[in-house]
Amino acid sequence: MPKVDLGKKAAAKNSPFEQAAGKEPRIKAAFFGPAGSGKTLTALNFPAPCVLDAEGGTNAYGNRLKFDVRKATNADEIRDTVNWLGANPHPYQTLIIDPITVYWESLLAKWTEILRQRNQGSKGFKFDYYDLQPKDWAHPKGELKEFFRRLILLDMNIILIAREKPVYSDKAGDFMVKVGETFDAERSLDYHMDLVLRFSAAKGVHSVQCRKDRWGALMVGETLTLPEDSYPFFSSRYGGKKLSRKAEVEDRADEAHTLEAETLATTLDLDAAEFSLMVERAGASSLDMLSANACDDLIATLKGRIKESDEQDARHKTAVKAVRELIKACGLSKEQVAKSLSKYDVTKLADLSPPQLAVIEKTLAAKLEK
């Protein structure tokens, strides 16, 4: 196989690649374990924390530690706060969601009610409640995926605290045989996180077991004892400077650019579903969530489609004009033209598609030659 010189291609002006940025990543962690195992206290020791508290887990620490809190009990409140952190300057370096279990439960409840009202003739409809059907899961899963995407994009340390639930054996004959513990949240949680730790406490001693560490600072299965002030433990292993640097706010698209995108979509006569799909492919669940660069790219795409549409219209008008001239040259009557058009279920030449116009033009040209 001949050797390929990738260096020259990478340096080309039209290369889709760019020099890798040197900004160090934040920690994205999930803490789970039984009540009283030190999850919330450990998270609150991280730099400049703000907390989305869904069940009062921080109440005991308000007089001991410095942090800001928002009581949020439903999925929309939590989502909106995450969006705010991504779009506005703020003093926070760590976001704690305590517990993420409540977010997932609230998201399921929200979509269950939406679908109960929307699908009253389906199998899942039970009058006062609704059983999610296999195809229904795309809705909460889709919103969850976008939520995790927003979380990962935040230039903050992210700590998701989850309740714990037992894992039971799936072997034949084993009934309710407990074989371990896992987090009580949507099952893809650990996929999105870099670090997953299980907390436990026995006789006043708090410890953590590593379930996942993408950075390799801890071995999977390794168990360590944590002091009450546990932040130095994490700072020494995951880099204190990158965990405590000031958060950078995303460069969101401004109102003028989002309005331009909407106007272009209207010009193209795009329906809401098609435009929403374009926005989603550009990287956001809604137009106001697009980054400035992504919105610029979307505008360029829409302008390109308008230009292509204008060019198609110009070609179509040229083809219609050519056919009219051939009709006149062939001396066809209005009745003969109408009969030919009826074969295509139209009454006007302008309503013919480009392929249909091409067929008629070819037929008339051949007739004229005879």
Q: 330: closest CA among 282, 297, 283, 362?
A: 362
At residue 234, the pLDDT reads 86
What mean pLDDT do residues 221-240 have? 83
Nearest Cα neighbor of 326 from 343, 308, 349 is 349
Phi, psi of 24 (to 5 degrees): -80, 140
In whole angstroms, give the CA distance from residue 161 to residue 154: 17
Tokens 């179509």, located at residue: 316
pLDDT exceeds cutoff 60 at 4 = no
Least reliable range by pLDDT among 89-103, 120-134, 252-266, 270-284: 120-134
Q: With 50 as the cut, is the pLDDT of residue 302 above it? A: yes
> What number is the average pLDDT over the span 79-108?
90
Compute the average pLDDT of residues 295-319.
89
Strand pairing category for 205-213 and 223-226: antiparallel
- For the chain, give the percent of residues with pLDDT over 90: 23
Q: Is the pLDDT of residue 359 over 80?
A: yes
pLDDT of 213 over the 90 cut = yes
Tell me the average pLDDT across 285-297: 80
Distance CA 29, CA 362 (A): 68
Res. 104 pLDDT band, cuts 50 70 90: very high
| Structure confidence at residue 10 (pLDDT) | 46
Band of pLDDT at residue 205, cut at 50, 70 and 90: confident
- The predicted model gives 111-117 an average pLDDT of 83
pLDDT at residue 251, rounded to an integer: 73
Amino acid 31: pLDDT: 96
Question: Dihedrals φ, ψ of 250, to 5°?
Answer: -65, 145
Reply yes or no on whether the pLDDT at 157 is more than 50: yes
Q: Does pTM top 0.95 for this prediction?
A: no
- Residue closest to 31 by CA, chosen among 247, 266, 197: 197
Dist CA 40 CA 17 (whole Å): 41
Select the highest-mean-pLDDT range: 105-109, 169-173, 271-275. Answer: 105-109
pLDDT tens readout for residues 55-89? 888 888 888 889 999 998 888 899 889 988 887 88
The residue-averaged pLDDT of 28-33 equals 94
Examine the pLDDT at 177 and tell me if it is beyond 50. yes
* pLDDT score recorded for residue 12: 55
For range 310-322, the mean pLDDT: 89
Name the band, by pLDDT with cuts 50, 70 and 90, for residue 22.
Answer: low
At 3, the pLDDT band (50, 70, 90 cuts) reads: very low
* 34-43, 275-284, 327-336: least confidently modelled range: 275-284
Which CA distances in Å does 314 have to 322, 350, 357? 12, 12, 14
Q: Which H/E stretch holds residue 168? A: strand 157-168
d(CA 281, CA 304) in angstroms, rounded, equals: 16
Which domains are assigned to the chain?
Answer: 22-244 (3.40.50.300), 255-369 (no CATH)
